[in-house]
A and B are shown apart, each in its own frame.
Chain A
Amino acid sequence: MKKYWSYNLKYLLILLSIWFSVSFGAGILWVEELNKIRLGGFKLGFWFAQQGSIYVFVVLIFIYVWLMNRLDKKFNVDEN
């Protein structure tokens, strides 16, 4: 059971670092550097702040759901 929890914490740590780097990183702290790169009509830093980070947030939640459902089964703690 301890192992289940430490896996969970590991997943959280990884997913939250991605959450942090796309929004606070790409969208705020490194925005000037990234703005020198272009993505079609967007400057990349601006795109992360107003579009990209939101898409990544959605993907992160679904990856988390998938990881946790797998983990629940592995440790036999899933409902049903």
Chain B
Amino acid sequence: MDVQSWTFLLVGLSFSLYIGIAIWTRASSTSDFYVAGGEVNPILNGMATAADWMSAASFLSMAGLISFMGYDGGIYLMGWTGGYVLLALLLAPYLRKFGKFTVPDFIGDRYYSNVARTVGIICALLISLTYVAGQMRGVGIVFARFLEVPIDTGVYIGMGLVFFYAVLGGMKGITYTQIAQYCVLIFAFMVPAIFISIQLTGNPIPQLGFGGQLSDGTFLLDKLDGLNQELGFHEYTSGSKGMMDVFAITFALMAGTAGLPHVIVRFFTVPKVKDARISAGWALIFIAILYTTAPAISAFARTNLIRATSNISYTHVPEWFTNWEKTGLIKFEDKNSDGVIQYLAHPDLNELTIDNDIIVLANPEMAQLPNWVIALVAAGGLAAALSTAAGLLLVISTSIAHDLIKKQLNSKISEKKELFLARFAAGAAVLVAGYFGVNPPGFVAATVALAFGLAASSFFPAIVLGIFDKRMNKQGAIAGMVTGISLMLFYMIYFKLGWFTQTIPPSTDWWWDISPEGFGTVGMLVNIVVALVVSRWTTPPPVHIQQLTESIRYPRRTA
């Protein structure tokens, strides 16, 4: 069978599985819809969290990014896994004990104020909307590349599917489809990695093949350092970013991960505090399988890529090269008209432009793997994008139906009506996400990466202080969140989008050499300092709030 038929078959099979699960796990109450009834097994919740968390970016783009960045790629690997340690130790068990439905619920109750709740809703919507638009776009791109339909059609198909199971099943439906999606995506990620690891190093475990020897006896990474230097790039195992910036970005990604509402809410779905703790551990194991394989793929693919293209005559390029040239993801421009591909670091001499995404997408073809493996990658990419999109849509619908309408505008609303509203809001959110997927505003791509900075500078400190500082009051928390997120927004607009100036200011103007991606770390520190100072100068929180703070610290209520 050719790649096209295999893709139709595997994508079709996986989609029917998701739809089947959605019908089987319909939500019948608001508790089902928001937190899957709070009765998900911790291991399964870990799996669902992993799928929820790993987006199209983790699956499709990350290995490619690392492939070009080398050592610097560690910021994503450490940043997007280290956050789970913070989540497990500082947030998840306490939020489970608190036992409500959403993050704005915690902010609103702990800080006894609807102003705080509203700030929470705005932050949650801001983070989730920017993030979900990127996912829908990702779905469209995978469809376009593998099934040769226009990107827009791909977005509509994705919207239809997510609409079906998010609106019907709510959190319950999403949880069980995410478990299936995790299995699909991890299988799709590992199969090509294992094949290629065996081909290059003879070791079937990619994590070990990464440090293994090539057929000529040299270590893969030493070979790659050499190849990179020959072509004028920096050594693969050392970086080109400043240490301060690497530090700041890693920290911002960690704190941001721990502050993302669609990840936090997953820990409301397990029965006990104990389960919330262990569930974070399982989630990280399932994530680590992909995250420790990704850098191995990056190194394998870069070696294969350089070998297949550098100094090769254009008439002798492999078939995949011509296939992917059609999509515009690989471009060859014969600047010195010698008919040979010069792949070099120097921008004036380099003749080859390669898109990040191609590393994962074209990897199976580069290694000449069978057609079904290539089709599997398409199904995996779709699973990764859809599972994250669904989790985000649920946060958006809950924020509107529960936090805004039920908690603030009309508290007398019946459960049935609230459930209907939640479904309606989820449906509306699918449409908005789809709109941004079809007409991506230029700033979406930039803001997806910065959603972490926004979460790090708003939710993360507010929640941690709410648990660990009994004296923290509403004045302090609100002031902290507002200054933190405003500062982050300002820095992002000024240095990333360049709306205040004629051109985007150069990186030499950055404060303390910290890039906009890393600025969440500064936003977070400012948030904490402002919150502590303001809270000490204003009245302490009322007694029943102090008791609440006390009670979430112990798994079982004591006399």
A interface list, Cβ under 8 A from B: 1, 4-5, 8, 12, 15-16, 19, 23-24, 27-29, 31, 35, 39-43, 46-47, 49-51, 53-55, 57-58, 60-62, 64-65, 68-69, 72, 76-79
In the complex, A1→B257 CA distance in Å?
31
Q: Is B124 in the interface zone, CB < 8 Å from A?
A: no
On chain A, the residues within 8 Å of B211 by CB distance are 39-42, 47
Which residues 158-214 of B sit at the A interface, judged by CB distance below 8 A? 207, 210-213
Q: Is B222 in the interface zone, CB < 8 Å from A?
A: yes
Main secondary structure of the interface of B (DSSP, over half): helix
A51-B292 CB under 8 A given contacts A46-B237, A79-B272: yes
* Tally of chain B residues near chain A (CB < 8 A): 48
A23-B250 CB under 8 A given contacts A42-B211, A55-B292, A62-B281: yes
On chain B, the residues within 8 Å of A58 by CB distance are 281, 284-285, 288
8 tightest A-B CB contacts, nearest first: A49-B74, A41-B219, A41-B211, A61-B281, A50-B295, A46-B237, A42-B211, A77-B554
In the complex, A67→B243 CA distance in Å?
34
Q: Is B85 in the interface zone, CB < 8 Å from A?
A: yes
In the complex, A69→B558 CA distance in Å?
16
Partner of B281, one of A51, A65, A76: A65
In the complex, A46→B272 CA distance in Å?
38
On chain B, the residues within 8 Å of A72 by CB distance are 274, 555-556
Please tell me if the beta carbons of B73 and A50 are within 8 angstroms of each other in the complex: yes
B242 to chain A, nearest CB (A): 11
On chain B, the residues within 8 Å of A64 by CB distance are 88-89, 277
Please tell me if the beta carbons of B89 and A54 are within 8 angstroms of each other in the complex: no
A45 to chain B, nearest CB (A): 8
Binds A, one of B15-23, B75-83, B426-434, B450-458: B75-83
In the complex, A49→B237 CA distance in Å?
10
Please tell me if the beta carbons of B556 and A68 are within 8 angstroms of each other in the complex: no
On chain B, the residues within 8 Å of A51 by CB distance are 207, 210, 292, 295
In the complex, besides A5-B553, A41-B221, A61-B84, 8 extra interface pairs with C-beta distance below 8 angstroms are A24-B251, A29-B247, A40-B212, A42-B210, A43-B237, A50-B74, A57-B82, A79-B556
Produce 1/0 per residue, B224-253, CB < 8 A to A. 000000000000011000010011001100
Please tell me if the beta carbons of A41 and B220 are within 8 angstroms of each other in the complex: yes
On chain A, the residues within 8 Å of B71 by CB distance are 31, 46, 49-50
Please tell me if the beta carbons of A57 and B81 are within 8 angstroms of each other in the complex: yes
In the complex, A40→B203 CA distance in Å?
14
On chain A, the residues within 8 Å of B555 by CB distance are 72, 77-79
A1-B250 CB under 8 A given contacts A41-B222, A42-B211: no
In the complex, A54→B247 CA distance in Å?
16
Q: Is B525 in the interface zone, CB < 8 Å from A?
A: no
Please tell me if the beta carbons of B278 and A65 are within 8 angstroms of each other in the complex: yes
On chain A, the residues within 8 Å of B84 by CB distance are 57, 61
On chain A, the residues within 8 Å of B66 by CB distance are 50
Q: Which residue of A lies closest to B79 (CB)?
A: A23
A-B contact pairs, 19 of them (CB 8 A): A23-B250, A28-B247, A29-B243, A41-B210, A46-B221, A46-B237, A49-B71, A50-B66, A51-B295, A53-B77, A54-B78, A55-B288, A57-B85, A61-B277, A62-B281, A65-B278, A68-B277, A69-B274, A79-B272
